[in-house]
Amino acid sequence: MIQGTDFQEKQILFIDPKEGAGKFGIKLQNSNLLLTRNEKAENKISLHKLLTIFVLGDMTLSTKIIEGVQKHGASMYLLKRNFAQYAHFGADADANYLARIRQYALTNQEELQIAKHIIKNKIKNQARLLEIGQTEEVKNIIMNIDNAKTPKELLGIEGSFARKFFSEYFNEISWRRRAPRTREDIPNLLLDIGYTILFNFIDSLSRLYGLDLYKGIYHTQFFARKSLVTDLEEPFRCIIDKALLKGYRLGIVNEEDFTFNNKKQEFMLPWKNANKYYRLFSDEIMGRKMEIFEFIQAFYRHIMLPKKNKLKNFNINKEYHKK
């Protein structure tokens, strides 16, 4: 399995065939991916340096490219233009059946304790963004989490604070409400995009350990939903929240980039305007990649040997350096 020193040098590659004029192509050249436009080389990336490749929209891939990606331990995700994942191949650790045995052997109480850790971490980060991290209000919320007896009770605490967080943190951008997957306004559309990029990144990391991604700890099982990935994403959603507000403050978000579909009553982001928004979120995620990796690694180790290995916490205010 991948170690932290190896992962630190890894990169994420986003491929959007429609980004630019002319015919896009991708070839395997020795141990490199060669990206071309109108048969001319645009970029060359070593497969040794890649952790994950995201392909957005339609593109023709050869079996040699698929073989090369798998051989070098990378992962490739094929995404629709709305970032919904429809196929994946590459690195994983499916043979690690011991990890799945340990997942399914967890008692309800053990799962509840892990869920409490995850939600406390999430709420503490939201409180940090609101700059109320040390208030009595937050301390009482953390105490209520510690005293929660069921996941349903925990869900109520999380949801109540989330409403406060969104309304206060995004107050300066005329926030109305959080409405996932409705695209009823531009902030909700952008949050959906950012959370989806984050979800897929965490998905790719979780696969490195052979965990059953459909067996949730906090989020209940639902057909074809990767509940565990949703669990592990929770402490890191603040990365996307912070990036979105930054995008507004720096003038990156421009309402003219978006269109409104009157028939569906939803906002849309045309592909020609999308790249800067992918970059807005992916840059922040990559800046935190080691912290995300270490969190998931610690989760895996805790599942395997809970008495020996503690779960980690992620701190959104901790300084980091982009690469």
Residue 112 is predicted with a pLDDT of 97
Co-location of 74 and 168 in the same domain: no
Q: Give the chain's length.
A: 323
Co-location of 84 and 106 in the same domain: no
Residue 118 is predicted with a pLDDT of 98
Residue 322 is predicted with a pLDDT of 46
Domain count, the chain: 2
Within-domain flag for 299: yes
Co-location of 65 and 127 in the same domain: no
Co-location of 55 and 185 in the same domain: no
Co-location of 37 and 145 in the same domain: no
Exposure b/e, 25-48, CB count within 10 A at least 16 = b: bbebeeebbebbbeeeeeeeeebe
Q: Other CB atoms closer than 10 Å to residue 180's CB: what's the count?
A: 9
Per-residue pLDDT of the chain (323 residues; tens, 9 = 90+): 556 566 667 777 878 787 777 888 899 998 999 999 988 998 999 998 888 888 878 888 899 999 998 888 888 888 876 566 788 887 767 778 999 999 999 999 999 999 999 999 999 999 999 999 889 999 999 999 999 999 999 999 999 999 999 999 999 998 999 999 899 999 999 999 999 999 988 988 888 888 999 999 998 866 668 999 999 999 999 999 999 999 999 999 999 999 999 999 999 999 889 889 988 998 899 889 889 999 999 999 999 999 999 999 999 998 754 44
Co-location of 51 and 139 in the same domain: no
User: Which CATH number goes with the domain that contains 105?
Assistant: 1.20.120.920
Q: How far apart are CA 204 and CA 188, in angstroms?
A: 24
Beta-strand pair 50-56/40-46: unpaired
Token couple for 187: 């902030």
Within-domain flag for 309: no
Co-location of 191 and 238 in the same domain: yes
Within-domain flag for 316: no
End-of-domain residue from the set 74, 90, 106:
90
Co-location of 233 and 113 in the same domain: yes
pTM: 0.84
Within-domain flag for 318: no
- From the number of C-beta atoms within 10 Å of its C-beta (0-12, 13-18, 19+), residue 159 rates as exposed
End-of-domain residue from the set 57, 90, 123:
90
Within-domain flag for 261: yes
Within-domain flag for 314: no
Co-location of 214 and 243 in the same domain: yes
Q: How far apart are CA 98 and CA 40, in angstroms?
A: 47
User: Which CATH number goes with the domain that contains 20?
Assistant: 3.100.10.20
Within-domain flag for 295: yes
Within-domain flag for 183: yes
Domain of residue 70, residue span: 4-90
- 3-state helix, strand, coil split of the chain in percent (to 5) is 50, 15, 35
Residue 321 is predicted with a pLDDT of 47
